[in-house]
Amino acid sequence: MTMYGRLKAAFLYFEGAVPFRLKPALIATVVLAILLLVPAPAGLTEKAWALLAIFLTTILAIILNVMPIGVIAMMAIVVVALSQVTAASSREAIADALSSFSSPLIWLIVVAVLISRGLRKTGLGRRIGLIFIGLMGRHTIGIGYGLATCELLLAPFTPSNTARGGGIVHPIMRSIATSFDSDPAKGTEGKMGTYLALVNMHANTITSGMFVTATAPNPLVVDYIARATDQSLELSWTTWAICMAVPGLVCLGLMPLAIAVLSPPAVRATPHAVEYARAELTKMGPLSGPERVMIGTFGLLLVLWANVPALVLGEAAVLDPTVVAFVGLFVLIITGTLDWNDVLSEKSAWDTLIWFGALVMMAEQLNEAGVIAWLSARLQDGILASGVGWQAAAAILVLLFVFSHYLFASTTAHISAMMLAFLTVGVALVPPDYVAPFALMMAAGSTIMMTLTHYATGTSPIIFGSGYVTMATWWRVGLVMCIGELLIYAVLGSAWWKLLGLW
């Protein structure tokens, strides 16, 4: 056998034997080698540049589907620890590589997935799904509007978009999908589950931008806008809600239709669904004891996530959303609604813990290494040196801020790292009369960017982890929706803000 034949035979053997796709793995390895051979740019240390190379290669490996995403994440943890790009010793490096696993955000996601198992086990999820089908089930798009309406009603009172979209709405969405036998385990997710999962995600993103209290980073955005404008633009809860109401409602109204075009459900009309749902509800009979416990637990979670005790007792009664989630899970366990085997066997929760934790870790380490500040400074210098008009400069700043979210696994981290700097440059470039629409576009962009990736915000890995949406579909739909929503806010939003007298 010739040398070429031996190499080909070896390649074919390993391609069938190893637990990864060999060709994409080789592409990712070559890209990593090239990036590491490139000298570190001025302003970055060699270790910071190497960390960025590892992060970019990890994202590429995920996009190319080299291995299951959890395995890729574990590989990234190993590489960060072995290369010691974040520390001077392997002991410190492995501590950095595992640092994000103590993050409350990550555990909020895990516990939300575990709580959602209770909906399936008790049958309450199926009951809720059947109720939605009975009310709006003649068309799949109608069910999509039902989910969007649910998000809108909960958003003002749920300061964690992860808790709302992943812990409350997503289990309902899954119950509805499985009621129509749309299940990734059966290969039937395309019936309607993919469509409903995307509606679930994008409704969460849109409503997160409509109220200050709809997601955790929004108060930080309010603070940064006030600081950048020297307190001349201070957004109260009411002002924010009024400013975002018209463009937000238009986005929410168009979103289920747009997703029906971008990712159409195989089952569109369900003419007999209403009768079926009513018949099945009759068979189920009255609420069972475990179902009542689930309802009580969700009521408790909603009250605590909405900070109702703090309104009565003061700031001392404020509870972190993750603490609230653990309380809910504990209630379900001690009442026997869930048992410990349920917790251990919920594979999607533990898979999400690994892969999302690794991405959050690398994003945080990039920030600590100064990579994000370096990127921000280079972008700002480029805009200033280009000599473009203020309108183009403002648009570039908004777009760069939004699309740099591909580098982040947390909106809070992204906003903390970059938003104040971008706002400061924008306020310096934009005439005073037009500062308000620029600042409001930055505020809108801070939640619109959640659409881009399956790791963009805490809700994303919960919905993505359920298996209804492929990564390619997620990224494609996310990009189109992001651009569309930015255009709606830029055109309709600006006109609305003009009518309100803000510019």
Q: 393 in a domain, yes or no?
A: yes
Could you tell me the pLDDT band of residue 317, with boundaries at 50, 70 and 90? confident
74 shares its domain with 183: no
306 shares its domain with 369: no
28 shares its domain with 109: no
The pLDDT, as a whole number, for residue 1 is 62
The pLDDT, as a whole number, for residue 14 is 67
pLDDT (tens digit, 9 = 90+) per residue, 296-310? Answer: 998 888 788 777 888
The pLDDT, as a whole number, for residue 285 is 92
pLDDT (tens digit, 9 = 90+) per residue, 151-166? Answer: 888 888 776 788 788 8
Rounded Cα distance, 446 and 450, in Å? 8
299 shares its domain with 238: yes
pLDDT (tens digit, 9 = 90+) per residue, 358-377? Answer: 887 887 888 888 887 787 77
3-class DSSP string for 176-188: HHHHCCCCHHHCC
226 shares its domain with 313: yes
pLDDT at 416 over 80: no
Q: 4 in a domain, yes or no?
A: no
* Cα–Cα distances in angstroms (integers) from residue 382 to residues 139, 392, 441, in the given order: 50, 13, 21
487 shares its domain with 362: yes
Name, in order, each residue with C-beta under 8 angstroms of 31's C-beta and a sequence gap of 6 or more. Answer: 56, 57, 60
- Of these ranges, 50-59, 123-132, 477-486, the one predicted with the greatest mean pLDDT is 477-486
The tokens for 214 are 């709809």
Domain boundary among 346, 381, 408: 346
pLDDT (tens digit, 9 = 90+) per residue, 326-354? Answer: 999 999 999 999 999 999 988 878 887 88
Q: 6 in a domain, yes or no?
A: no
Mean pLDDT of the region 479-494? 97
Cβ atoms of residues 100 and 364 within 8 Å: yes
pTM, two decimals, is 0.75
- φ and ψ at residue 139, rounded to 5 degrees: -140, 145
Chain centroid to Cα 308, Å, comes to: 26
216 shares its domain with 295: yes
Tokens 């979210």 correspond to what residue? 405
Show the domain range for 81: 16-97
Cβ atoms of residues 237 and 260 within 8 Å: no
Name, in order, each residue with C-beta under 8 angstroms of 409's C-beta and a sequence gap of 6 or more. Answer: 356, 359, 360, 362, 363, 455, 456
Tokens 């190497």 correspond to what residue? 50
Q: What single-letter DSSP state applies at residue 287?
A: P
91 shares its domain with 133: no
Rounded Cα distance, 321 and 319, in Å? 6
22 shares its domain with 124: no
pLDDT (tens digit, 9 = 90+) per residue, 216-248? Answer: 788 888 888 988 888 888 888 888 999 999 999
91 shares its domain with 110: no
The pLDDT, as a whole number, for residue 448 is 96
> If 0-12 CB within 10 Å is exposed, 13-18 middle and 19+ buried, where does residue 431 land?
exposed
pLDDT (tens digit, 9 = 90+) per residue, 166-211? Answer: 888 888 888 888 888 899 989 999 999 999 999 999 999 999 999 8
pLDDT at 468 over 90: yes
The pLDDT, as a whole number, for residue 15 is 63
The total number of structural domains that make up the chain? 3
38 shares its domain with 179: no
> If 0-12 CB within 10 Å is exposed, 13-18 middle and 19+ buried, where does residue 432 land?
exposed
Q: 221 in a domain, yes or no?
A: yes
Mean pLDDT of the region 385-406? 89
Domain boundary among 97, 126, 152: 97
Mean pLDDT of the region 109-126? 80
Could you tell me the pLDDT band of residue 18, with boundaries at 50, 70 and 90? low
Percent of the chain with pLDDT over 90: 41
207 shares its domain with 332: yes
